[in-house]
Structure 1
Amino acid sequence: MNYFYDPKEKDRVMEARESFSGRLLTDPQFDEAMANTGIIEREIKKSGAFKEKLSDYAYAFARTEKIDLAKGETILRDLFRIRTGKSMNQMREELAEREQKLTEPQRKLAYDYALGVGDMIEKGDKINFNRAFAHQGAALADELGITDAGAKRLMKEEFKAAENAELYDWGKELEEQFYRPQIEAEKEAREQKNGRGERSRRFQRSASGREDGDDVREAPARRQGASRSRVGPRP
């Protein structure tokens, strides 16, 4: 069993292995099923939804392991519940309820995280708006215990309330100011490097051609001299 679980989940993973849905699976099947529960959990925390992701992975799991589709979905649901301590729907509802009960100070945190998007773009190494926005959204979601989608929505609302501007537009302006020049500089450096490499290869081919040509031109002289040596001097 090679499932890479959180050490804090060790007991729950062992419980899942010996459960009704887990004990009939081979080790590779169990590892794959547990990995799928982790993917579904991440989707719930990201978007607050799981049915589409569950359907996709249950279908793939059932097809490759030659088991019934309904059974495959049941296995994933059961193992998810044992590993996380709650059902998929319970996790989704808890996240939604927590977002509804946010206090005003908690909501205000979103503005600081929104400003963090700009810091990442300005000070980071080739970080665009989408990457920075996703990172800050996930960090805020983790602190508040809500979905990434909810955190992003909150960041946009609080930024607009404070700046009377759209977070997306502001972030894209910073992207053009800081991210774009880094990308262009990297592209130019790569082209220059490729150009130097191509010139070096052309020089090597040219030098090789000259050497081959010298050999060809010298060969007849050597053959002619060798011929006179064999014939000998004329009387």
Structure 2
Amino acid sequence: MFSPHGPTVRELAVQALSSVERGYDLLAPKFDLTPFRTPDAVLDAVAEALAARGPFDRGLDLCCGTGAGADVLRTVCRESVTGVDFSAGMLAVGRNQVPADAPPRVDWVRGDARALPFGAAFDLVVSFGAFGHFVPGELPGLFAQVHSVLRPGGRFAFPIGAPPGPASPWYWALFGFDAAMRVRNALWRPPFVMYYRTFRFADVRRELTCAGFTVEHQALEGLGRRPDGSPRCRLIVATRESGVPRPRPA
């Protein structure tokens, strides 16, 4: 799963015992050589789906890491692309990978997704592989922040994979990872928040609606379907409504 030039077991252990920010600063130089980077097949499928809905003017890659999502935005945005992340190390890698004179302009901003340093300036916000770093109780605030930086009619798009069933080895691998992470966070400080099984489709749709979005989804057909015919991955597209957010159900 890891490239021979990727992080060593020792490096991964040091990262896992650090804070999220410090851990990603340490991992940044080798991050793109790990399975934690969003696969190109997913990025390409999302880019194709967004191209059919665009073009857009200004795009934001939320929790951009080394910039895989920014590369998607560069294919569908005409004016500018911004990547925001709280890891200075990940931003530095992303900045070094994009030619400074390649259009559209790409800006790299250090910031917290829970307190975005922007106004309503963007037509499109994307995010890839970052939501496991937020516990479910943080989703209302996170989605409210995204809503606040989108222009009316702007879209928030991200892929969400179908959860594996109990018969799949991946189900137990992800279950074991999340369990180990909970034990680690109960015994060690600072916490490292990274869970794979807490970002559920029904919960996400409800919270996006409460945050003031109209939510739709489409199958990413290029990623195939499961034996029961359901898509392996969907693209969630949440459009900012012009009104105020709706009250959350009790």
If asked which structure has higher relative contact order (CA below 8 Å, sep 6+), I would say 2
Q: Mark yes or no: TM-score above 0.5.
A: no
Q: Which is strand-richer, 1 or 2?
A: 2
The answer to which structure has the higher helix fraction is 1
Instruction: Give me the TM-score of the superposition, normalised by structure 1.
Output: 0.28
Structure 2-normalised TM-score? 0.26
Q: Larger Cα Rg: Structure 1 or Structure 2?
A: 1
